[in-house]
């Protein structure tokens, strides 16, 4: 059984680590905030640094918010890189820059270890249910070693290519999610302002070609006004920034992605950076001076 180091035990990392622990893996844990008591009570070993995690583990999994955090975990003093040995595997399951990922992978590989970028989709619900989609970039040998581990955290695990390709896939995912949230927001706002019951409109659309997971889950959030975060707007803004920065570097235009980012920016300007990303609808509601809600308006 592979001994696993896990760094970053927040909203997503904590349930992911718990699944690995329940499957029998010994965990070596580190975070910048106190680690959840249940992980320690179940046998998790607290470590004082990323270096110590790497020294004690066969595999190190990282699950932190953004590119600078991953860089610090890996390469700061007493970071993971300082404790790596030849043959180990580093797995970054955060959602970060594909370009930075390629550079991180080169540095880790120079130390004799393999590197996988393996961002996830599915949010807190998917993390708790072990139903995450996991998009992996990196060497096939490391993927084959990690596949049974990934299967304990997710249901759709795909090696999509070389280092950086996993992060590129995640950025593409976030473009689709943002634009679909925008489309559902516009549709339910239109229906509600026209006098129809948006809850019933959503129910009808779920049986047609417009059906989607976003319409099912986030459409319900919009109607019921439940914007407690499963995935915060500020995190989706970070992902769309990666998309727009990548587009500039590639010399392409992503106009609808830019629009979605502006709508998120409007929410943030109104104090909503910690709202669930389905709350994009609130930016459109403010422009329309009309709120989507269950029942005729």
Catalytic residue set: 170
CA angle 40, 45, 51 (to 5 degrees): 135
- Which residues have CB under 8 Å from 117's CB, separation 6+? 92, 96, 98, 101, 105, 136, 137, 138, 163, 164, 165, 166, 167
Cα(160)–Cα(269) distance, integer angstroms: 37
Q: What is the DSSP letter of 65?
A: S
Judged by DSSP in three states, 68 sits in: helix
Q: How many C-beta atoms surround the C-beta of residue 24 within 10 A? A: 10
Q: What are the two backbone dihedrals, phi and then psi, of residue 160, each rounded to the nearest 5 degrees?
A: -95, -10
Q: What are the two backbone dihedrals, phi and then psi, of residue 232, each rounded to the nearest 5 degrees?
A: -70, 145
Judged by DSSP in three states, 185 sits in: helix
Q: Are 134 and 154 in contact (CB under 8 A)?
A: yes
Q: What are the two backbone dihedrals, phi and then psi, of residue 46, each rounded to the nearest 5 degrees?
A: -75, 135
């Amino acid at each position: 059984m592979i001994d696993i180091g896990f760094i970053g035990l927040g909203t997503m990392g904590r349930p992911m680590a718990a699944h690995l622990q329940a499957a029998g893996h010994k965990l070596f844990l580190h975070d910048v905030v106190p680690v959840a008591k249940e992980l320690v009570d179940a046998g998790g070993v607290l470590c004082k640094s990323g270096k110590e995690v790497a020294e004690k583990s066969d595999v190190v999994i990282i699950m932190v918010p953004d590119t600078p955090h991953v860089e610090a975990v890996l390469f700061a003093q007493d970071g993971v890189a300082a404790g790596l040995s030849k043959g180990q595997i580093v797995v970054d399951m955060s959602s970060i820059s594909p370009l930075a990922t390629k550079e991180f992978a080169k540095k880790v590989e120079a130390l004799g270890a393999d590197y996988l970028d393996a961002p996830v989709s599915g949010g807190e619900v998917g993390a708790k249910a072990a139903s995450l989609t996991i998009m992996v970039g990196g060497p096939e040998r490391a993927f084959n070693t990690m596949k049974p581990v990934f299967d304990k955290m997710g249901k759709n695990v795909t090696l999509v290519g070389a280092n950086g390709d996993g992060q590129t896939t995640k950025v593409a995912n976030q473009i689709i999610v943002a634009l679909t949230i925008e489309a559902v927001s516009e549709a339910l706002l239109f229906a509600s302002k026209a006098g129809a019951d948006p809850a019933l409109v959503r129910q009808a659309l779920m049986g047609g070609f417009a059906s989607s997971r976003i319409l099912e889950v986030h459409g319900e959030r919009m109607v019921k006004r439940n914007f407690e975060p499963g995935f915060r707007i500020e995190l989706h803004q970070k992902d769309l920034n990666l998309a727009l920065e990548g587009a500039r570097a590639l010399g392409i235009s992503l106009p609808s992605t830019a629009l979605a980012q502006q709508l998120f920016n409007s929410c943030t300007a109104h104090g909503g950076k910690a709202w669930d990303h389905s709350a994009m609808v609130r930016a459109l509601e403010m422009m329309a001076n009309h709120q989507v809600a269950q029942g005729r308006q």
